[in-house]
Amino acid sequence: MKNNNLHANALIIGMLALIMSCGQAGKNGSNGALSGSIAEKVYIAPGERDEQYAFLSGGYSGNLTVYGLPSGRLFKEIPVFSQFPTSGYGYSEETKPMLNTSFGFIPWDDLHHPDISQTNGELDGRWIFANGNNTPRIARVSLSTFETEEIIEVPNSAGNHSSSFITENTEYVVAGTRFSVPVPQKDIPIKEYKSNFKGALTFISVEPEHGHMDIKFQLLMPGFNYDLSHPGRGKSHGWFFFSTYNTEEANTLLEVNASQNDKDFIAAVNWKKIEEFVNNGGGTKMASNYAHNVYNESTHTATSTIKKEVLTVNPADVPGAIYFLPTPKSPHGCDVDPSGQYIVGAGKLSANITVHSFDKMLAAIEAKKFDGDAYGIPILNYDDVLAGSVQSGGLGPLHTEFDGRGNAYTTFFISSEVVKWKLETWEVIDRKPTYYSVGHLMIPGGNSRNPHGKYLVAMNKITKDRYLPTGPEMEHSAQIYDISGEKMELLYDFPTHGEPHYAAGCNADLLVNNSKKIYRLDENNHPYGIKSPAEARVERDGKEVHIYMSTIRSHFTPDNIEGVKVGDKVYFHITNHEQDFDVPHGFSMIGQGTSEILIMPGQTKTSLWEPKKVGVWPFYCTDFCSALHQEMQGYIRVSPAQSDIQLSWSLDE
Amino acid sequence: MKKRSKNLITFLVVLVTLNACTPPTEKTRTEEPVSHPKGQASVVDDVSDPNILQVAASSEPHSTLVAAVQAAQIEHVLVNAGPLTVFAPVNSAFEKLPDGTVQNLLKPENKDALAQILTRHAAPGSYDIEALKREAKKGRKLYMATGDYLEVTMDGDNISVAGAKIVGTVAASNGIIHVIENVILPK
């Protein structure tokens, strides 16, 4: 029956698309929609700058990419969960600890949902958070240095997907599990899933001054899949909303077995109530094991600490804090409008979009109108909480963003389109094809009280013939729409890197003036840093050789070193003595089992080399730093392990 | 500069023509100023150490040199990643030249000759005093940006380049400035 509906809908969509394309052709003919005026909207002349920043998730690249809007120009890739030879992140001795976990060093993750920090419900531009989906982690990236400053592992979680969304004063960054698992982990038959597996929703507090993260509590929910989430804002601040699927608690062939229930739930969590409960001593401390990695900008060094305990909360212990809102057809996206009144659940197997009312939810709770419970958590009546349903005419709704003018925009994966609809009347105003199976969309500021409703970026999962072909694998396509008018207008499309799952964006002026240019040498407290080239030296400590090296255009100090032996562990501690914006130096050594490192002005970084062969081996600067960059090189003489050649070093002697 | 305005006018005329046949947009980009007309020379940066141009511009005794650099339109060279070692004659050094020499060089038609003279005061590389002493001791000549080789001599603690004595040294973010008492002219 379901299948027949799908087919019927697909037919209707097909016919609609035909009719619409005819209409558009006519429009194109009359005023030239593809004329110069559209090109001008995305054209940023040489020397001019974009209006907005967009931070796109890199998905399986593990990293974030930074683009300009409206030009779609790529500015930077920020390494977060993946080793990155371009900068040496995860390769340098200082940054290896950033990728430490309770499973050991994990060089990769699947980065999904970036979210910019907020104050009073508006973007404040201090940090951007992102979740690692695979080995559950949350990262915090500085929006002044564009470097990852902190990563915290999330225990008792698996497939960290309904993450990393923040509350409106960045009190918490929230991480919900997609896969429920035994909590704590234990060796049991998979078939004992039901009631044995739990879904952890983790509230990570964010210290206001430096942004340091700490797990405040974990809510151990029934063993559903927690898919996406968003914070309440304005009137609903203090609540958090999570979409769920697999309320069937299936543990195999989920594509069938998790689609049995007509409705799953959106879980409404009153986190302020739970916060109060734990502040008064509530909750149960559980033995655990998770890494907390913090990068210190003063020492230019990360440290990893393994934490041993986490505070868990059983929902039954905090009555009145959690309710289930029935939502049709395995809801995926769970989005809250700028006023905080409407909670949008996009049933990914549905044609329609369900919108719940926060006020009606509170009234139903007040009146205690429940339709039973699930594991003790009250279920509200669908009709009691429903604000409206958008008869979209599309198929496969996924995600919704808002423009701040009372309109919402929802992506439809199967019908490949963005649909614009009106809050409160629930009528469809416009629809534009994206052609290539759109996943997420992003309006800068869209997850806040104050969206900047000028551009919309749709991120497609497919590319196929959109660009020049590059073999079987193509970068995913993104499309930018002008949404300032009644109708959306497709302006431009551009390739992304990895797979963008969601993005965050903000006005450029929020970040431009805070962007760091150099690290000050007088503030460099790296234990192996040197304040000037005069302090350059080489020290031996058993098999370890520590080279305190300096770089400044266009030479290393020292650049001739002798007395290193096969079997030594040679640490190059390189301080870049430049104090000039955008003048890094690089370093690489022949035969080194790691990547190059790129050292920013005023920074110290360490690269490890374990020489295996006797000889005289060169190193060089990997970044074209200056007119004499090709001269920026040096030699190290490596002698046999038993040799008695003393350490010596020099420059131009 | 004249060329730029001409181009701008052409651009505007073309745009107006274009606009005539397309519906007007809310905002045309031509109204916005180009934010970085001079590239690196116009970067706003009060955090990095000052570069050679910025150091020279803030030094009153080098006002003639700075005026000459501007007249020769070689500012961009002094803000480049370099590194450069600049031997910077003070105002009195220019005054030692025959009457009318500076005024003549500052004329637009002598721009290339002026640029050549100034460039002869810059060496690719960063040579601090210790490095210059090594040049003198080892008998190495300094390779200048014009392709000339200049002799470095040491008399006690005094270092001279092509006979011009160094009376002070200032480090810059993209190189080093040595203040000299004479203009280094081709032999």
> How many other C-beta atoms lie within 10 A of the C-beta of residue A268?
25
Domain residue extents for chain A: 35-514, 521-650
pLDDT band at residue A36 under the 50/70/90 scheme: low
The predicted model gives A217-228 an average pLDDT of 98
CB within 8 Å: B45 and A517: yes
B102 to chain A, closest Cα gap in Å: 30
Contact A581, A517 (CB under 8 A): yes
- Contact of B8 with chain A, judged by CB distance below 8 Å, is answered with no
CB within 8 Å: A43 and B29: yes
> How many other C-beta atoms lie within 10 A of the C-beta of residue A636?
26
Chain CA centroid to CA A150, Å: 13
Residues of chain B neighbouring A514 (CB-CB closer than 8 A): none
The predicted structure's pLDDT at residue A29: 38
Interface test with A, best of B46, B47, B53, B138 (most A CBs within 10 A): B47
CA-to-CA separations, A24 to A19, A29, A64, A432, A483, in angstroms, rounded:
9, 8, 36, 10, 17
Per-residue pLDDT reduced to its tens digit, B4-20:
444 434 443 333 333 33
The predicted structure's pLDDT at residue A351: 86
- Contact of A554 with chain B, judged by CB distance below 8 Å, is answered with yes
pLDDT band at residue B38 under the 50/70/90 scheme: low
Interface test with B, best of A517, A553, A554 (most B CBs within 10 A): A553
DSSP-assigned beta bridge partners for residue A573: A548, A606
Contact A462, A436 (CB under 8 A): yes
Percent of chain A with pLDDT over 90: 91
- Contact of A508 with chain B, judged by CB distance below 8 Å, is answered with no
The predicted structure's pLDDT at residue A598: 98
Per-residue pLDDT reduced to its tens digit, A557-592:
999 999 999 999 999 999 999 999 999 999 999 999
Phi then psi for A365, rounded to 5 degrees? -65, -45
- Contact of B54 with chain A, judged by CB distance below 8 Å, is answered with no
Please give the CATH topology (third level) of the domain spanning A35-514.
Methylamine Dehydrogenase; Chain H (2.130.10)
The predicted model gives A314-339 an average pLDDT of 96
CB within 8 Å: B81 and A601: no
- Both tokens of A368, joined, read 């205690």
CB within 8 Å: A628 and B28: no
CB within 8 Å: A36 and B124: no
The predicted structure's pLDDT at residue B16: 37
pLDDT band at residue B44 under the 50/70/90 scheme: confident
Place of tokens 């198929």: A395
Per-residue pLDDT reduced to its tens digit, A327-377:
999 999 999 999 999 999 999 888 899 999 999 999 999 999 999 999 999
- Contact of B170 with chain A, judged by CB distance below 8 Å, is answered with no
Closest CB from B49, B51, B124 relative to A628 = B124
- Both tokens of A160, joined, read 């960290």
In this model, does residue B25 exceed pLDDT 50? no
The predicted structure's pLDDT at residue A371: 96
Provide the phi-psi class of A336: left if phi over 0, else alpha when psi is between -120 and 50, else beta.
beta
B106, B108, B109, B114 alpha-carbon torsion, rounded to 10°: 40
- Both tokens of A32, joined, read 């030239």
CB within 8 Å: A626 and B34: no
Scanning every residue of chain B, which has its alpha carbon at the shortest distance from the alpha carbon of A485?
Answer: B26
The predicted structure's pLDDT at residue A451: 97
- Contact of B119 with chain A, judged by CB distance below 8 Å, is answered with no
Mapping DSSP to helix (H, G, I), strand (E, B) and coil, where does residue B53 land?
helix
Which of the residue ranges A173-177, A374-378, A507-511, B70-74 would you say has the lowest mean pLDDT? Answer: B70-74
> How many other C-beta atoms lie within 10 A of the C-beta of residue B96?
11
Tell me the pLDDT of chain A averaged across its residues: 94
- Contact of A194 with chain B, judged by CB distance below 8 Å, is answered with no
CB within 8 Å: A579 and B25: no
Contact B176, B187 (CB under 8 A): no
Place of tokens 């000889």: A615
Rounded Cα distance between A376 and A390, Å, is 31
Tell me the pLDDT of chain B averaged across its residues: 83
Per-residue pLDDT reduced to its tens digit, A39-63:
999 999 988 999 999 999 999 999 9
Phi then psi for A592, rounded to 5 degrees? -85, 135
The predicted structure's pLDDT at residue A154: 98
Nearest to A236 by CA among A334, A305, A337: A337
CB within 8 Å: A37 and B22: yes
Mapping DSSP to helix (H, G, I), strand (E, B) and coil, where does residue A453 land?
coil
Q: In chain B, positions 87-116, which contact chain A (CB-CB < 8 Å)?
A: none
Closest CB from B35, B47, B49 relative to A47 = B35
- Contact of B80 with chain A, judged by CB distance below 8 Å, is answered with yes
A139 to chain B, closest Cα gap in Å: 28
Place of tokens 């003549």: B104
Residues of chain B neighbouring A47 (CB-CB closer than 8 A): 34-37, 39
In this model, does residue B31 exceed pLDDT 80? no
Closest CB from B32, B80, B126 relative to A48 = B32
Rounded Cα distance between A399 and A458, Å, is 10
Per-residue pLDDT reduced to its tens digit, A391-417:
988 999 999 999 999 999 999 999 999
Closest CB from A31, A36, A517 relative to B47 = A517
Q: In chain B, positions 59-78, which contact chain A (CB-CB < 8 Å)?
A: none
Residues of chain B neighbouring A523 (CB-CB closer than 8 A): none
In this model, does residue B61 exceed pLDDT 80? yes
Exposure class string for A304-339: b at 16+ Cβ within 10 A, else e: beebeebbbbebeebeebbbbbbbbbbbbbbbbbbb
- The class that CATH gives domain A521-650 is mainly beta
CB within 8 Å: B51 and A583: no
- Contact of A40 with chain B, judged by CB distance below 8 Å, is answered with yes
Rounded Cα distance between A417 and A411, Å, is 6
Interface test with B, best of A550, A580, A624 (most B CBs within 10 A): A580
Give B90's contacts (C-beta < 8 A, 6+ positions apart).
B61, B62, B65, B167, B179, B180, B181
The predicted structure's pLDDT at residue A34: 52
Please report, as a single letter, which amino acid is at residue A556: F
The predicted structure's pLDDT at residue B26: 41
The predicted structure's pLDDT at residue B17: 37
Scanning every residue of chain B, which has its alpha carbon at the shortest distance from the alpha carbon of A583?
Answer: B81
Closest CB from B34, B126, B134 relative to A552 = B126
Nearest to A573 by CA among A544, A590, A549: A549
**How big is chain B, counted in residues?**
187
Architecture of domain B49-180: Roll (2.30)
Query: Helix B111-119 to helix B63-72 angle, to the nearest 10 degrees?
Result: 120
The predicted model gives A301-318 an average pLDDT of 98
Chain A with chain B: Cβ pairs closer than 8 A? 73
| Whole-structure pTM value | 0.89
- Both tokens of B133, joined, read 């002493």
Phi then psi for A459, rounded to 5 degrees? -110, 115
What strands, in cross-sheet order, belong to the sheet with A417-422?
Answer: A397-402, A407-412, A417-422, A428-433
The predicted structure's pLDDT at residue A572: 98
In this model, does residue B186 exceed pLDDT 90? no
Exposure class string for B37-62: b at 16+ Cβ within 10 A, else e: eeebbeeebeebbbbbbbbbbebeeb
**How big is chain A, counted in residues?**
653
CB within 8 Å: B25 and A580: no
- Contact of A144 with chain B, judged by CB distance below 8 Å, is answered with no
CB within 8 Å: A36 and B22: yes
Q: pLDDT: is B16 or A282 the higher one?
A: A282
Closest CB from B23, B36, B48 relative to A47 = B36
Residues of chain B neighbouring A49 (CB-CB closer than 8 A): 35
The predicted model gives A223-248 an average pLDDT of 97
CB within 8 Å: B83 and A554: yes
The predicted structure's pLDDT at residue B39: 76
Exposure class string for A89-115: b at 16+ Cβ within 10 A, else e: bbbbbbbbbbbbbeeeebebbbbbbbb
Rounded Cα distance between A476 and A462, Å, is 6
In this model, does residue A203 exceed pLDDT 90? yes
Rounded Cα distance between A495 and A499, Å, is 10
Domain residue extents for chain B: 49-180
Per-residue pLDDT reduced to its tens digit, A593-641:
999 999 999 999 999 999 999 999 999 999 999 999 999 999 999 999 9
The predicted structure's pLDDT at residue A469: 92
Mapping DSSP to helix (H, G, I), strand (E, B) and coil, where does residue A249 land?
coil
The predicted structure's pLDDT at residue B41: 78
Give B91's contacts (C-beta < 8 A, 6+ positions apart).
B61, B62, B63, B64, B65
Nearest to A179 by CA among A249, A89, A261: A249
Contact A464, A477 (CB under 8 A): no
| CA angle B58–B47–B128, rounded 5-degree value | 60
Scanning every residue of chain B, which has its alpha carbon at the shortest distance from the alpha carbon of A35?
Answer: B22
CB within 8 Å: A627 and B36: no
- Contact of A651 with chain B, judged by CB distance below 8 Å, is answered with no
> How many other C-beta atoms lie within 10 A of the C-beta of residue A562?
17
In this model, does residue A10 exceed pLDDT 70? no
Contact A332, A161 (CB under 8 A): no
Contact A418, A409 (CB under 8 A): yes
A348 to chain B, closest Cα gap in Å: 38
Residues of chain A neighbouring B25 (CB-CB closer than 8 A): 37, 40-41
